Structure 1
Amino acid sequence: MNEQAGRLAERAQLVGGNRMELLLFHLRGRQSYGINVFKVKEILPCPQLTNLPHHGAIVRGVASIRGETISVVDLGMAIGLPPVKSLDDSVVIVTEYNRVTQGFLVSKVDKIVNLNWKDVHPPPKATGKDNYLTAVTELNGTMIEIIDVEKVISKVHPVNERVSKGVVDDTLKLISSKYHVVVVDDSGVARNQVIRCLDEVGVQTTGLTNGLEALRYLRSIADSGKEVEDEVLMIISDIEMPEMDGYTLTTEIRSDPDLSRIQILLHTSLSGIFNEAMVKKVGANDFLAKYDADELARKVVNRINSLQQVEPA
């Protein structure tokens, strides 16, 4: 087994155990920030940047990295902080989110830490809705703020949230409103993208912020005496979430007789090859890389159509 395959196997065990690796870094000052190591392709000293006209101020320029032209965003500016003090002393974290390779300019990279998602929590309500955090955690008495990178990227690379004409036909729209989809994602931007897409399909939606919240919601339906699979068409869940990730949520659902028949679609920006293996391991029904409105809508449409074929007229 080569080094890359070995590292992949290690990460599969890590994520399957409701654990994560967090890359810690600094922007300005002593505050520590983090992003999931799974999204990081490489870390390098800031290369030469070429300015681009007609780009927002947060895009400091583009760089040629391993033959690929990548835009570099000043991550501090993107979340409302001052820019890095000096490009010469700064670092670029090259990431892959939502099928886009993106560079983030930071002042300093610290280290990688291994955490349990149980120790990672939603940001305090006092931070408000306009913050750029998906979660917070504490390490050796230091508060770590985990950045909502999908929210940052949406400012630089807006996605098309509209479903193309013909993906959802008029006949389906006549029946889709009786179906209910649960959407689970800690990023408010990503969660609302999915909900807006499903609005065009015509289904009802409930948006939740992490796996633990979703599990409690589903069990509350079961505890009320209702058949959960009759009440929920499917769950569309992110993987990386505070308190309980999507893999652990899937495992918990499959081990609960009252919930085990629910359809689960894991919807994430993590590596497709890696996730296809994990989908089989934990028992999810399907996997879809973020974000394509038409692909997502088709998954829901196909699920409705499959039920229509077996339900009595």
Structure 2
Amino acid sequence: MARPLLDTVETFTRLAGHNRVAMLLFRLGDRQAFGINVFKVREVLRRPRLERMPSMHELVSGSFDYRGQTIPVVDLAAAMGYPPLADVASAHLIVTEFNRSVQGFLVSDVDRIVHIDGSNMAAPPPALGYGARVNAVTRLDGDLLAVVDVEQVLASVDPRAVELSERVQQAAHVQKVGSRRVLVVDDSLVARTQIVDLFRKMDLECVVAKDGKEGLEKLRELAAGPAADRVALVVSDIEMPLMDGYALTRAIREEPGLRHYKVLLHSSLSGVFNEAMVERVGADRFIAKFQPDVLATAVLELLPA
């Protein structure tokens, strides 16, 4: 089942750059549908035999050998408040790769791949109770679809401090970037926190937006205001509801009053495809998440003199 399902991914790559995203649908124990971007998915497997150490995080069901690499397996059902799946023989494993790491997520079952119009996706209302682990919701055939922020889930299991090398900190000091403002656009709470923490270490001030639509509105507002309030650079995620990073970049390039802004796209999804799309929409740089020194160096190079 897994191979035919994922063989269709190439078909959906043509949607990128048009504010559309391909989602792999899955369930965690009831009828509620959840989704994950197919570009984060390597493979879908039946639950393998897992090896567990007593010191593992409570959400980590164990590890297993995946094509010669030992990877952790996170119980996504337990992370989202459902009954654990670690001992459920019928459970499935979604092997993912993002933020330069490979890990598995246990789910109840996997459904199919669908493509979603980004403009129909929105941040979930707090009353739904998803918290930070769902970064977008939409309707599919009348039913609610929740897009899981797997970066947030992984960060709760393996939190990583934002560390900036002394060399890059010194370069920021020499360049005197203090008082500069950067527009940070990202729908993931953990990603926004990491980026803002990093830029604060560089003495950069941040203006934050949670999706491309909000980012574009803030950029227009700041560009029309006093010079002291304007931003010097836009750093944006690619996968976002309402308006993705590609569509945001294209909108900036098409608007005379904004097209001079440098745009750095920053995504958990790496690879040649993203780099080609970055050039197509007119972005100035692409950096794969999350590499503090690499991101900081790129920002220093792109900040106007």
Are residues 1:38 and 2:28 paired?
no
* SS of corresponding position for 1:167: helix
Please state if 1:299 is matched with 2:289.
no
Choose 108-117 or 168-177, whichever is displaced more: 168-177
State the AA in 1 paired with 2:121. V
Query: 1:303/1:131 Cα in 2 relative to 1: closer, same or farther (>3 Å)?
Result: closer
**Contact preservation (8 Å) 2:223, 2:230:** no
What displacement does 1:222 show? 3.4
Tell me the SS of whatever aligns to 2:71: strand
**What's the TM-score once normalised by structure 2's chain length?**
0.92
The one-letter code sitting in structure 1 at the alignment partner of 2:287 is: L
Q: Quick check: 1:189 aligned with 2:190?
A: yes
Partner of 1:154: 155
- Contact 1:45–1:91, Cα closer than 8 Å, also in 2: yes
User: Does the C-alpha gap of structure 1 residues 129 and 233 become closer, same or farther in structure 2, counting only changes over 3 Å?
Assistant: farther
Q: Which residue of 2 aligns with 1:269?
A: 268
Cα deviation, 1:236-264, whole Å, max 9, x if unaligned, reads 10000000000000000001110001011
Q: Which residue of 1 aligns with 2:81?
A: 80
Match of 1:68 in 2: 69
Backbone CA RMSD of aligned residues: 2.3
**1:8 Cα deviation after fit:** 7.3
Matching residue of 2:286: 287
User: What SS is found at the alignment partner of 2:138?
Assistant: strand
Do residues 19 (structure 1) and 20 (structure 2) align? yes
How far off its partner does 1:107 sit?
A: 0.6
Contact 1:159–1:291, Cα closer than 8 Å, also in 2: no
* CA spacing shift, 1:130–1:142, aligned 2, 3 Å: closer
For 1:148, the aligned partner's letter is: D
Cα offset for 1:53? Answer: 3.1
Cα drift, residue 292 of structure 1: 1.2
Contact kept, 8 Å, 2:63 with 2:70, in 1: the verdict is: yes
For 2:245, the equivalent position in structure 1 comes to: 246
Match of 2:213 in 1: 212
Q: Please, what TM-score do these two structures have when normalized by structure 1?
A: 0.89
Cα deviation per residue 1:21-79 (whole Å; 9 max; x = unaligned)? Answer: 11111112221111111111110101111112311121111111222211111001123
CA distance in 1, matches of 2:205, 2:242: 26
Secondary structure in 1 matching 2:31: coil
- 1:131-152 CA deviation, whole Å, 9 max, x = no partner? 4110001111110111111111
Distance 1:302 1:223, change over 3 A: closer
Stretch deviating more after TM superposition (247-256 or 11-20): 11-20
The answer to whether the Cα contact below 8 Å between 2:186 and 2:237 also exists between their aligned partners in 1 is: yes
Distance 2:140 2:9 in 1: 25
- Find the aligned partners of 1:153 and 1:23 in 2 and give their Cα distance: 18
The one-letter amino acid of 1:106's match is V
Secondary structure in structure 1 of the residue aligned to 2:217: helix
Task: Describe the shift of the 1:223–1:172 C-alpha distance in structure 2 as closer, same or farther (beyond 3 A).
Answer: same
1:112: Cα distance to partner?
1.1
Q: Can you give the 5+ residue segments of structure 1 that lack an aligned partner in the other structure?
A: 1-5, 309-313
Q: Is the 8 A contact 1:43 1:91 kept in 2?
A: yes
The one-letter code sitting in structure 2 at the alignment partner of 1:18 is: N
Match of 1:169 in 2: 170
AA aligned to 1:281 is R
Q: Give distance in 1, aligned partners of 2:60 and 2:186.
A: 26
- Assess if the C-alpha contact under 8 Å between 2:132 and 2:152 holds in 1: no
For 1:171 and 1:195, the matched residues in 2 are separated by 15
Please say if residues 186 and 240 of structure 2, whose CA atoms lie closer than 8 Å, have aligned partners that are also in contact. Answer: yes
| Alpha carbons 1:268, 1:288 under 8 Å: kept | yes
Q: Deviations over 1:275-313 (max 9, x none)?
A: 111111110000000001111121222234xx33xxxxx
The equivalent residue for 1:311 is none
Say whether residues 1:103 and 2:113 are aligned partners. Answer: no
SS at 1:114 equivalent: strand
Aligned residues between the structures:
300
Cα 1:128–1:184, aligned 2, differ >3 Å: closer, same or farther? farther
Contact 1:173 1:201 in 2 (8 A): no
Q: Is the 8 A contact 1:79 1:132 kept in 2?
A: yes
User: Residue 177 of structure 1: CA displacement?
Assistant: 2.3
* Mapped contact 2:211–2:244 kept (Cα < 8 A): yes
Change (3 A) 1:64 1:129: closer
